[in-house]
Amino acid sequence: MTAVLGANYVRVWAEQVALPELGSRTVAEALAAGTECKLIWRAVVVALELDSKYR
Protein backbone atom coordinates (compact mmCIF):
# COMPACT_ATOMS: atom_id res chain seq x y z
CA MET A 1 0.00 0.00 0.00
CA THR A 2 2.88 2.33 0.71
CA ALA A 3 4.13 1.95 -2.86
CA VAL A 4 0.74 3.05 -4.17
CA LEU A 5 -0.38 5.64 -1.61
CA GLY A 6 2.92 6.95 -0.34
CA ALA A 7 4.46 6.77 3.11
CA ASN A 8 2.64 9.84 4.44
CA TYR A 9 -0.87 8.88 3.36
CA VAL A 10 -0.98 5.11 3.72
CA ARG A 11 -1.69 5.04 7.46
CA VAL A 12 -4.46 7.63 7.20
CA TRP A 13 -6.10 5.74 4.35
CA ALA A 14 -5.83 2.40 6.17
CA GLU A 15 -7.44 3.85 9.29
CA GLN A 16 -10.20 5.94 7.70
CA VAL A 17 -11.45 4.32 4.49
CA ALA A 18 -14.10 1.64 5.04
CA LEU A 19 -14.14 -1.00 2.31
CA PRO A 20 -17.34 -2.84 1.33
CA GLU A 21 -15.34 -5.99 0.57
CA LEU A 22 -14.23 -6.04 4.21
CA GLY A 23 -17.73 -5.69 5.63
CA SER A 24 -17.42 -1.90 5.72
CA ARG A 25 -14.35 -2.14 7.94
CA THR A 26 -11.12 -0.28 7.41
CA VAL A 27 -7.87 -2.04 6.62
CA ALA A 28 -6.72 -1.38 10.18
CA GLU A 29 -9.92 -2.85 11.63
CA ALA A 30 -9.74 -5.89 9.37
CA LEU A 31 -6.12 -6.54 10.38
CA ALA A 32 -7.02 -6.20 14.06
CA ALA A 33 -9.88 -8.67 13.56
CA GLY A 34 -7.51 -11.24 12.08
CA THR A 35 -8.68 -11.05 8.48
CA GLU A 36 -6.27 -12.74 6.08
CA CYS A 37 -3.87 -10.26 4.50
CA LYS A 38 -4.60 -11.71 1.07
CA LEU A 39 -8.30 -10.85 1.44
CA ILE A 40 -7.47 -7.36 2.66
CA TRP A 41 -5.11 -6.77 -0.24
CA ARG A 42 -7.75 -7.89 -2.74
CA ALA A 43 -10.17 -5.37 -1.23
CA VAL A 44 -7.53 -2.63 -1.49
CA VAL A 45 -6.87 -3.48 -5.14
CA VAL A 46 -10.59 -3.16 -5.90
CA ALA A 47 -11.05 0.05 -3.91
CA LEU A 48 -8.06 1.78 -5.47
CA GLU A 49 -8.77 0.35 -8.93
CA LEU A 50 -5.18 -0.80 -9.18
CA ASP A 51 -3.62 -2.24 -12.30
CA SER A 52 -3.61 -6.01 -12.62
CA LYS A 53 0.13 -6.11 -11.84
CA TYR A 54 -0.79 -5.53 -8.18
CA ARG A 55 -3.14 -8.49 -7.97
pLDDT, tens only, 28-38 = 999 999 999 99
Domain boundaries, the chain: 2-54
Which residues of the chain have a pLDDT value below 50? none
User: What is the reported pLDDT for 53?
Assistant: 86
d(CA 20, CA 42): 12
User: What is the reported pLDDT for 11?
Assistant: 96
Mean pLDDT of the chain: 95
pTM for this predicted structure = 0.89
- Residue 27: partners with Cβ closer than 8 Å, 6 or more residues away: 1, 13, 14, 15, 17, 19, 40, 43, 44
